[in-house]
Structure formats: C-alpha cells, structure tokens
Amino acid sequence: MSPQVIAFHYKLTDVSGQTLDQSEANDPLAFMTGSGQIIPGLEKVLVTLKIGDKKRVEVEAADAYGEHSLENIMTIARSQLPEGDVKVGDMFHGPNGEPVTVTAIAAETVTLDGNHPLAGQKLIFDVEIANVREATKDEQAHGHAHGPDGHHHH
C-alpha cells in the first residue's frame, strides 16, 4: 500500500489529565504514514481510522518517546556551555546535535538530560481524523507531508 497523508486534530494529555499539547482550532496536524513523523503508537491507530472518526488513544511510553534512560544523562564541565546565565530547564544541543535539558547545576559542572521531555510517560491523545489521502509522488520523494492539498514550498 502506498503511503497516505493523514490530517488529524488532537489533544494530548498526561495520565493526570493535564493538557500537554493540542492542534490549532482550524489546522489539523498532517503526516505521511511510514515516515516516522509521529510516534509509532499513535500512527498504528490513526492508520485504521477514517475521515470523521474520533478516538481516544492511550500510548505507552515504549511506543511514544521511549522509557527514561539513565544513559541519556551526562555531567559536563560548566565551561563546555555558552557563557552567561545557565539555569535549570535551559535547552542546548548536545555533542551529537541532540537536544538536552539542564537538570542540575553545581559550581564546576552541569547535568544534562538527553531524554525527550515526555520520555517514560504514558500519553493520551483524543483525536479526530480531518482528512486521509494518498501521498503525492513529491511527498514520497521528500519523505514527508506537504500540506492539505499536497503543495509545499521548500
């Protein structure tokens, strides 16, 4: 089956019911199936739905942003970060270009967490399918959805 572009509205909450993210009122999120643009546990359900379908999708951490891994936490010398005020919560690019978050600051060292901020969390999506269509040859060549009607300028 050739890739499809699925556009959907969503509201993302954590297990306590706190809203973490949501699509804009009139602009659904569009992605091309099989492209890795959205988390696997959500895509696996979205591909089974049709236009107009509404569903609550619970995605375990392993099928979302993965489990929280101690291997992704590192302590570096304070001098390795940019000059100026560095505070807990700041984000930088790590040694391999990955996003890291400052989680602790000591006199000479800074602890960085390379886990996704939602790693280790079960995520709950309330979704509504706005559109489903075949991916264009252009989208397939580029590896991502270009927009509601397949047009996009790079």
pLDDT in tens, 63-103: 999 999 999 999 999 888 877 888 999 998 877 788 999 99
- The list of the chain residues with pLDDT below 70 reads 1, 147-154
| Domain at 70-113, CATH from 1.10.760.10, 1.10.220.110, 2.40.10.330, 3.30.565.10 | 2.40.10.330
- What pLDDT score was predicted for residue 147? 66
One-letter amino acid for residue 27 of the chain: D
Protein fold of 4-65+119-142: Chitinase A; domain 3 (3.10.50)
- The C-alpha angle with vertex 89 and arms to 85 and 95, in degrees rounded to 5, equals 80
- pTM, entire model: 0.81
pLDDT score at 126: 97
pLDDT at 63: 96
Q: What pLDDT is stored for residue 133 in this prediction?
A: 95
